[in-house]
Amino acid sequence: MKFDTPAKNNPIDQMKVVGQPISRIDGPLKTTGTAPYAYDRYDVVSNQAYGYILGSAIAKGRITSINLAAAKAYPGVISIVTYQNAGKLGKGKLNTAHLLGGPEIQHYHQAIAIVVAETFEQARAAAHLIQVKYERAKGYFDLQAEKHKGVAKGDSGGPGESAVGDFETAYTAAALKLDATYSTAHESHAMMEPHATIAAWDGGHLTLWTSNQMIDWAADSIAKTLGINKEKVRVISPYIGGGFGAKLFLRTDALMAALAARAAQRPVKVSLQRALIPNNTTHRSATIQRIRIGAQADGLITAIGHESWSGNLPEGRSEAGSQQTRSLYAGANRMTANRVSILDLPEANAMRAPNEASGLAALEIAMDEMAEKLGMDPIEFRIKNDTQIVPDATKPSADKKATKADEKDQPDANPPFSLRQLVKCFQVGAKKFEWNKRKAKPGELRDGRWLIGLGMATAYRDNVVTKSAARVRLDKRGNLTVETDMTDIGTGSYTIIAQTAAEMMGIPMSKINVRLGDSTFPVSAGSGGQWGGNSSTSGVYAACVKLREAIAQKANFPIDDAVFANEKISHQSQSFTLAELAGHQGIAAEDMIEFAGLDKKYKQSTFGAHFVEVAVDAYTGETRIRRMLAVCAAGRILNPKTARSQVIGAMTMGVGAALMESLEVDKRYGYFVNHDLAGYEIPVHADIPHQEVIFIEETDPISSPMKAKGVGELGICGVAAAISNAIYNATGVRVRDYPVTLDKLI
Ligand code: MOS
C-alpha cells in the first residue's frame, strides 16, 4: 500500500482498542524472567559451547604476534578464532570499524580473539592466557584538541552545513547578542541486557538467536561480513532487554559467535562481558557546540548560528548537534554546521535521539540565556520565535558529496510542518507546572539549605517514516496471527501491533497472536529513530486492509460498506462470523506500507516541553530533582500507557545526561576508563522524582494511516537543558558543560 494522500477516516479512527491504555502483552513474561533472552535459549539447540571475547589492549596500531599455545592447552578449550584463521571477512554497510580486529587495530577493546570452551569459566580463563604483542601507533583521542580538524558532515541525509540569508552581518548588527560554547559528554547506552548471541550452523545455513533492534539490517550485515548469501541466514530476536541504539547494528557478539561456531563445529553462545561493552561497541560522541543568537529588543531572533563538533573513527557519522536548529525557531539569517574530527576512540554511533538529544542540550540553554538578556520569560521568548514553516531547508546539494539519491529524498524548500503544536505544549505545561511561581531572578527561592529553581526547555525530534511489511492469518477459530520482523526492545511493539490488528478486524485482543523478531517474517521498519511504532503498525494496517478485502469477497459484501466488529463481518442485515469464513484453510494476507511523497512535502516532527524543579544544596552543590513534567505533541498516541513509559524512561535518561553520565577518556591510551556500571553512573530510582506526562490530543493525517508519530526519543530531547536551566534558576551558576556535577557549582 502506497501512502500518498492524507489519511481520511479509517477503522483505526474508531479508537475502540487503539488509543487505550492496555498493559503490555509481554509485561508478565519480562517481569517474571520468563521472556527468553538470547543468552538463555538453552531450548533452541543442544550442545552449546561457550565463547569468550578478548579485546585489544591498545587503541591504535598493529598486532605483531599472538601466542595461543597456553590457551589451547587449557582444559575444556575447543577452538580459538583470531584474524589469522577467521578467513576473509567483509564488513556490514552499517559498521564503521571491523568487528574482528587484527593485525590492524582500530580502537581499544576491538575484538581480537574468541575462545570456545565447554564452560564459560574455562573460556574466560583460557582467553587470559593468550599472549599478544602489539606495536602502538599514535592515536587521537581528545575532541577539544582535534576540533580544528573537523570536516562538515551531516547525518541521516542532512547536509553538513547550511546557510540562509547573511548570518554574520545580521549577527553583528543585532541589538542583543549571545555567543557561548557548550559541551556534552561521551555517553554509553547502558542497557540492561548485554549484547548476546547463540550461533548455530546447519550445513551452510546460519541461525543467530540474538538481541538486535533491526532484524533485516543484522541479516544483511552478517551475510556481507561472512561473504554468504543472505538467504542462508536466519536472525531471531523476539525479546530484547533494551537497546537505545546500541543494538541497531550487527555487533561483535553475533559475528564472533558465528565464526566460533563454524570453527568449533557446534553451537556457540556469546555474551559481551559488561566491562567490554563501552569500548567494544558504540557510544554517543561527545560534542562541543558554539551557538550565536542575535535578536531585536522585542525578542525576535534575527540571526541564529549553531556549530557542532564531534568525533569518530574515519568514515563514521557525526553527532549532528545543530540539526534541529534548522527547523526549530524562526530567524531570517542562519547558519549551521556539523563537523566531525577523526578520533581513534571506539565507534561513535546512534544513541537515543542522536543529534537532537545532544543539540538541544546546548541550544535550549542558549535560549534560556538569551531570554534573560532580553528580560523576557523563557517561554515567551520561544513563542515569539515559533514558526509554522521550516526556516532553513538547505538541500544536500550544498554538500559536495551529496548524491542524487540524497537530493531526491529531500523535502521541498521551506516546507510547512504537517502539524506543529509547540506553543500549546508550552501553555499546557506552564499552567500545569505553575510556571508563574518561578522567580525570574536566580537564587531567590529557598527551602532550608536547598536552593530551589524551575527550568524548562523545548523538546523536538524529527518523525521519520519508513516502509514496513506484515502478514496476517485468520484461522478457523477466529484467531488472528500477525507476523512481522519488527522488534520490541521494551517499547510495547507487541501490544500496539495487537491493538492495531484488533481494531482493524473487530477481533478481541485475547484472540490476536503477535509474532516478532524473526527474519523469516516480512521485513518491518524495525526499532530505531522513534520510527518503529508508527511505521510498523502502519504495515500491520496495510496487511489488515488486504485481509478485510479478502474476507469481504468471501462474504460477497461490498468492502466499503462492510463492518468488522464482534468477530463478524456484517453488511446491512447479513453477517458471517470471521471463523466460519476462514474455514479450515484459514485466510491470509500480506502487505507493506510505503511512504510515497507526503514525508517530502511536509516536515514531520514531534514537539514537546519539559519542565523541571530542582533543589540544589547551598553548601555541597548536590542537585536533587523534585518534579518533572513533559508535555508531548506527537500525533495520535496509540497506547497512552506504553507511550508514557517511553517518555518517563527517556526523561530518566535525560537526567543521566544532565547530572552524571560521562565516559571519561584516558587521553594517553585512548579508552573509556569507567567502562562498567560501577564507574559509569546512571540514575537509580532514588534519583528520580514524581514524573508526569501529558499528551496533547492530536492526530496527524500526514504521518501515516495510524495518524501517529514517534514518541520514544522525543522524551529525552531537551531534558538536560531543562535541568541545567533549573539549576541556574536555583543558584545563579550557569554551567555549560555536561554533566552538571557538584564540583561545577561551587
Ligand atoms: Mo535509536 S538511537 O535509532 O535506537
Ligand 1, residue 531: give the atom nearest the CA: 3
d(CA 546, CA 526): 22
- Ligand 1 centroid distance, CA of 354 (Å): 7
Q: Which of 708, 158, 640 is nearest to 465 (CA)?
A: 708
Which pLDDT does position 666 carry in this prediction?
98
The minimum-distance atom of ligand 1 relative to the CA of 713 is 1
pLDDT reported for residue 75? 98
CATH code 3.30.365.10 for 2-35+465-600: yes
pLDDT of res. 399: 47
CA of 527 to the centre of ligand 1 (A): 7
The dihedral sign for the CA sequence 240, 246, 250, 254: negative
Pairing type for strands 2-3 and 587-595 reads parallel
Q: Which residues contact 694 (CB under 8 A, 6 or more apart)?
A: 428, 429, 432, 629, 630, 631, 632
The reply to whether omega before 103 is within 30° of 0 (cis) is yes
The answer to whether 651 and 719 have CB atoms below 8 angstroms apart is: yes
Mutation choice for ligand 1 from 282, 463, 486, 713, CB with most ligand atoms inside 8 A: 713
691 membership: H or E segment, kind and range: strand 690-695
Across the range 286-310, mean pLDDT stands at 98
Strand order, beta sheet including 563-565: 563-565, 568-571, 574-577
Residue ranges covered by each domain of the chain: 2-35+465-600
Ligand 1 atom closest to Cα of residue 354: 2
Q: What is the mean pLDDT of residues 533-553?
A: 98
Beta carbons of 575 and 545 less than 8 angstroms apart: no
Distance CA 512, CA 170 (A): 59
Closest CA to 271 of 250, 281, 257: 257
The CA distance from 154 to 629, in Å, is 32
Q: Is the pLDDT of residue 558 over 50?
A: yes
SS3 (DSSP) at 407: helix
Q: How far is the CA of 648 from the centre of ligand 1 (A)?
A: 17
With 80 as the cut, is the pLDDT of residue 725 above it? yes
Residue type, 25: I
SS3 track for 727-745:
HHHHHCCCCCECCCCHHHC
Q: Output the CA angle 565-570-572, nearest 5 degrees.
A: 130
From ligand 1's centre to the CA of 296, what distance in Å? 38
Q: Give yes or no for a contact between 77 and 52, defined as CB atoms under 8 angstroms apart.
A: no
Q: Does pLDDT of 396 surpass 70?
A: no
* Whether residue 62 has pLDDT greater than 70: yes
- Residue appearing with cell numbers 533452541: 44
For the stretch 471-507, pLDDT in tens is 999 999 999 999 999 999 999 999 999 999 999 999 9
Active-site residue, from 347, 692, 698, 713: 713
Cell of 524: 518491518
Rounded CA separation 101/105 (Å): 6
Q: What's the pLDDT at 408? A: 55
Cis ω on the peptide bond leading into residue 739 (within 30° of 0)? Answer: yes
Return the percentage of the chain with pLDDT > 70, whole number.
97
Nearest to 94 by CA among 310, 278, 255: 255
Q: Residue 133's beta-bridge partner residues?
A: 65
Give the confidence band of 158 by pLDDT, cuts at 50, 70, 90.
confident
Span from the CA of 112 to the centroid of ligand 1 (angstroms): 27
Q: Which atom of ligand 1 is found nearest the CA of 244?
A: 4
Q: Please, which pLDDT band fits residue 398 given cuts at 50, 70 and 90?
A: very low
Among the atoms of ligand 1, which is closest to the Cα of residue 489?
4
| C-beta separation of 361 from 352 below 8 A | no
User: What is the rounded average pLDDT of the residues 294-306?
Assistant: 98
- Rounded to an integer, what distance in angstroms lies between the CA atom of residue 233 and that of residue 215? 11
Q: In Å, how far from its chain's centre is CA 358?
A: 13
**pLDDT value for 91:** 92
For residue 309, the SS3 value is: strand
Look at ligand 1, atom 4, and give the residue with the nearest C-alpha. 245
Handedness of CA 318, 323, 324, 329 (dihedral sign): positive
**Taking the mean position of all CA atoms in its chain, how far away is CA 145?**
29
Which of 188, 237, 249, 352 gets mutated to test ligand 1 (max ligand atoms within 8 A of its CB)? 352
Distance 704 CA to ligand 1 centre (A): 20
* pLDDT surpassing 70 at residue 405: no
Separation of 245 CA from ligand 1 center, angstroms? 4
Q: What's the CA dihedral at 628, 634, 637, 643 to 10 degrees? A: -40
Selection from 411, 420, 454 nearest residue 436 by Cα: 454
CB-side neighbour CA atoms (13 Å) of 659: 26
Residue that has been written with the C-alpha cell 563537523 in this structure: 339
Residue 532 alpha carbon to ligand 1 centre in Å: 10
Q: How far does the centroid of ligand 1 lie from the alpha carbon of residue 651, in Å?
A: 15
pLDDT confidence of residue 310: 98
Residue 157 banded pLDDT, cuts 50, 70, 90: low
d(CA 452, CA 686): 19
380 is catalytic: no
Please tell me the predicted confidence (pLDDT) of residue 458.
98
Separation of first and last alpha carbons in the chain: 59
Nearest atom in ligand 1 to 246's CA: 4
Average pLDDT, the chain: 96
Measured CA angle at 133 (ends 55, 139), to 5 deg: 65
- pLDDT of amino acid 599: 81
Q: pLDDT-based confidence at 537, cuts 50/70/90? A: very high
Instruction: Kindly report, residue by residue over 661-698, the tens digit of the pLDDT.
Output: 999 999 999 999 999 999 999 999 999 999 999 999 99
Rounded to an integer, the average pLDDT of 111-132 is 98
Ligand 1 center from residue 78 Cα (angstroms):
37
Say how many Å lie between the CA of residue 241 and the centre of ligand 1: 14
Helix (H, G, I), strand (E, B) or coil at 609: strand
pLDDT-derived band at 406 (thresholds 50, 70, 90) equals: low
pLDDT-wise least confident of 70-74, 116-120, 189-193, 600-604: 600-604
Measured over all CA atoms, what is the biggest interatomic distance in the chain, rounded to whole angstroms?
Answer: 83
Buried b (16+ CB within 10 A) or exposed e, 319-357: bbbbbbbbbbbbbebbbbbbbbbbbbbbbbbbbbbbbbb
Return the best residue to mutate from 156, 217, 248 for the ligand 1 pocket (most ligand atoms within 8 A of CB): 248
Of all residues in the chain, what percent are helix, strand and coil, respectively (each to 5)?
30, 25, 45
Residues whose beta carbon lies within 6 Å of some atom of ligand 1: 213, 243-245, 248, 350-352, 354, 528-529
Q: Looking at the predicted structure, is the pLDDT value of residue 210 above 90? A: yes
